[in-house]
């Protein structure tokens, strides 16, 4: 069958156009009145990183009497290269943390999760983007918040549970440099940990209208032999009534943390009443 040159040209042009369109990077809608990508929304990770950043098999609950409830779900891991590059002493501490996680995991005590754990700890978070020099991240877990300074970078005046965040735009990617975190937070329930020299660089890149690609490069010379990275998608909640709900967990942890004090007080009161 003979195809006319003009018809062939049209077919090839259409094919090339479709390939170009398919390969074109997603461009997020702009925030009204600005050239910035609009990242406003309620987002959540849908993986097992909160249990263990590294690949892991299913395992029993930290409380065996609960049976299958709260058992560890298996996960493929989110660490680039597969393994966290611990220094020898830090690797030993990680094993100790896991063995004693029911007492040591900051999550059991309702402590703020820190960065990057807040991004994937099983609860949604909200990005509130308005003023050009500030972006606010609000977290459902423990009503945590942090403000991203988009103005001239500034140094952390002290250490904080959620750190000190300076942000900038690289194209459509929000880059957040986080320093000044306390040493008491963990990365997950498996006991992966860090020191007070933790330095995290986060990258939030829109992949589609409802997906952000999240990356965090982690550096801590006291704990790791080299910088390492995690990566995962974050998904937008698209329900018409999507919102953060109240999860002020301290009241759930009070008995575990301070129950012995309550019992001692009751005993003292009984003694005083005699």
Task: Please list the residues that pair with 139 across neighbouring strands.
Answer: 125
What is the residue-level pLDDT of the chain in tens, covering all 274 positions? 554 554 545 445 555 555 544 567 899 999 988 889 999 999 999 999 999 999 999 999 998 888 999 899 999 999 999 999 999 999 999 999 999 999 999 999 999 999 999 999 999 999 999 867 789 999 999 999 999 999 999 999 999 999 999 999 999 999 999 999 999 999 999 999 999 999 999 999 999 999 999 999 999 999 999 999 999 999 999 999 999 999 999 888 888 777 777 666 555 555 555 5
Tell me whether the omega of the peptide bond preceding residue 116 falls within 30 degrees of 0, making it cis. Answer: yes
Rounded Cα distance, 129 and 159, in Å: 25
**Domain assignments of the chain as residue spans, ordered by start:** 41-257
CA 65 to mean position of chain CA atoms: 30
Rounded Cα distance, 122 and 90, in Å: 26
Least Cα distance to 227 among 194, 184, 181 occurs for: 194
Q: Would you tell me how many other CB atoms lie within 10 Å of the CB of residue 149? A: 17
pTM to 2 decimals? 0.86
């Amino acid at each position: 069958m003979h195809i006319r040159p003009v018809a062939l040209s049209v077919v090839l042009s259409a094919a090339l156009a479709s390939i170009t369109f398919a390969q074109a990077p997603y461009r997020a809608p702009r925030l009204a009145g600005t050239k910035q990508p609009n990242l406003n929304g309620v987002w959540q990770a849908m993986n097992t990183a909160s249990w263990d950043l590294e690949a892991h098999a299913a395992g029993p609950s930290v409380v065996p009497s609960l049976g299958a409830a709260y058992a560890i779900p298996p996960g493929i891991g989110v660490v680039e290269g597969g393994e966290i590059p611990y220094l020898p002493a830090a690797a030993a501490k990680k094993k100790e943390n896991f063995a004693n996680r029911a007492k040591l995991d900051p999550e059991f005590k309702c402590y703020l999760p820190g960065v990057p754990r807040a991004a994937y700890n099983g609860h949604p978070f909200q990005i509130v983007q308005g003023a050009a020099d500030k972006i606010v991240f609000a977290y459902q877990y423990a009503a945590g918040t942090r403000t991203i300074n988009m103005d001239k970078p500034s140094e952390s005046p002290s250490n904080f549970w959620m750190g000190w965040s300076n942000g900038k735009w690289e194209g459509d990617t929000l880059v957040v440099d986080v320093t000044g975190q306390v040493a008491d937070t963990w990365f997950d329930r498996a006991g992966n940990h860090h020191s007070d020299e933790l330095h995290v660089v986060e990258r939030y890149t829109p992949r589609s209208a409802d997906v952000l690609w999240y990356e965090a490069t982690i550096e801590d010379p006291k704990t790791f032999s080299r910088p390492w990275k995690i990566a995962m998608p974050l998904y937008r909640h698209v329900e018409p009534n999507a919102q953060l709900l109240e999860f002020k967990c301290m009241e759930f942890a009070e008995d575990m943390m301070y129950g012995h004090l309550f019992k001692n007080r009751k005993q003292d009161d009984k003694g005083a009443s005699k």
